[in-house]
Amino acid sequence: MGRVVNKVAIVTGGSQGLGKADCEALVREGAKVMITDIKTAEGEQLAADLNAQRAGSAAFLQHDVRDESRWEFVVGETVKQFGRLDILVNNAGLVIPATPESTTLEQFRLHNAVMSEGVFLGCKHAIPAMHTTGGGSIINMASVATHLGYPVFFAYSAAKGAVRGMTKAIAVWCQMQKYNIRCNSVHPGATDTPMVAEANKLLGIPDEFYTQSGPGLGRPLDVANVVVFLASDESRFINGAELVLDNCLTIQ
């Protein structure tokens, strides 16, 4: 307990799946969390649940990560409510299964607007806020799709590949500027979340596929535990890294 006590976090896409698990784990370890999502009802309910566990530990803001002016508001409001910003978890995402030939331009642009431009905007506006109060940790949610060839997740893979590259550039930039801000990416394999369940449904992948395969299906808490570690001072010398959480999938 207390691994991120007195730290303040923004978690995008925080109302369900990996984002929800991140919020719960960060609060459990002492942080205050601004939950952001386009899903207002779910986000408000999660904030209420977390505040019932520890008063003043969470708040919610409706947030479309494609909107730069909203990013400015979210960062400013977080600092206004909680006094600082130490942690940014760029988690918001989506996946529409489609191959290189079947992906539409609109689908490709949507994936990149949410997961590439959204991460860019989050980092751009979080960096000054973190620097003002002495530094912080940016955690960008990527995927094993950046390491493997997944034609059926073509647009998703492209967007997550951009996240992988941006993470390293941001880490080096902040180090060059002596900002004391670390930036790392997390690359989960298939995890038991609503987004993965919906993709599997569209692709006709049965639940037993994962129990029969070697890697299996990860849990949101598996990812959240790594997010807490990267957010904490325990990981002070980990910067510009990509942490793959896939139970050997990418090396088989």
Catalytic residue numbers read 156
CB burial class (10 A; 0-12, 13-18, 19+) of residue 142?
A: buried
Query: Rounded to whole angstroms, how far apart are CA atoms 26 and 14?
Result: 12
**Backbone φ, ψ for residue 140 (5° rounding):** -100, 125
Token digits of residue 126: 């979080």
